[in-house]
Structure 1
């Protein structure tokens, strides 16, 4: 518990330090592969998002999903790749494994489907090598190229707005 508090402190410190010098240009022609970072409590929206993406020309096998889970139970089986505090090192980086591979993958689009300012998920979004990032509007953090302001439970509204903006930008 105390170690997690220290980890969170260092992550918040590094996020604040790098917040203002993160201007990058995103030059991709068309979106082919997508990373979906989703919080465990919003997992019911996953299939709706996938259905909307498939309806707009994205193949389901081109979507990689990473689920953030706050607490893990000992004998719990997990069907999707998950991450949590256990994957976090003391210096704010992530241990080798699926999370590190997810961050290193050069997605054409990263969808950050979370609304709570969770330092671990913000760090994954920040460190991601994705060319284009989309997510919800967070009050103090601007890591996404597109911020959609809808309720997190409205997955259809979120994906409709996201697809609308991506079509305007000629990325879909």
Structure 2
């Protein structure tokens, strides 16, 4: 229990450090690659994100989705990468090679599609090398560049609003 508390406190401190030193990319580049981070307890339909990628003209081979499961240790077959709290150590150390590869990829956009207050999800959003970060409403607004206020189960509203704002920002 003491180690778990120490791990959580060190990860919170590390996340704050990342967010304070975050560089926001400002450019007019189009979105050609897309990464998605989601909580498997809130969203269980992978096909939604394939349709979203097609809707904003991202090729299927340029889409990568990772799922977080706070309780499950087994990895479902239908997710490309599924991780749990054991894959993240103290001070944000990533123990999973596939997860580290996802974080090191410089996606043109990253969608953080979760509302839960899981520290691991926030940490992964902060550690991602994505140029433009998009999320649904969360308590920490420093995580994302564009926040679309919808509920997790209102995916079609999110999809339409995302398309509208990406068009306005000249990203698609």
TM-score (norm 2): 0.89
Shift of 1:78: 3.3
**Are residue 78 (structure 1) and residue 77 (structure 2) matched?**
yes
CA RMSD in angstroms comes to 2.0
- Structure 2 counterpart SS, 1:44: coil
2:8 alignment counterpart = 8
- Structure 2 counterpart SS, 1:131: coil
CA contact (8 A) 2:28 2:170 kept: no
Shift of 1:44: 2.9
> Separation in 2 of the partners of 1:164 and 1:158?
10
Output aligned runs, 1:18-167, within 5 Å.
18-73=18-73, 77-80=76-79, 81-167=81-167
CA contact (8 A) 2:68 2:83 kept: yes
Q: Which runs of 4+ in 1 moved over 4 A?
A: none
Cα separation, partners in 2 of 1:50 and 1:85, compared to 1, 3 Å = same
Shift of 1:99: 0.8
Q: Where do 5+ consecutive residues of structure 2 fail to align?
A: none
Shift of 1:92: 2.0
CA contact (8 A) 2:53 2:63 kept: no
CA contact (8 A) 2:111 2:135 kept: yes
Equivalences, count: 171
Shift of 1:162: 1.1
> Separation in 2 of the partners of 1:9 and 1:137?
24
Shift of 1:5: 3.3
Moved more, 29-38 or 138-147: 138-147
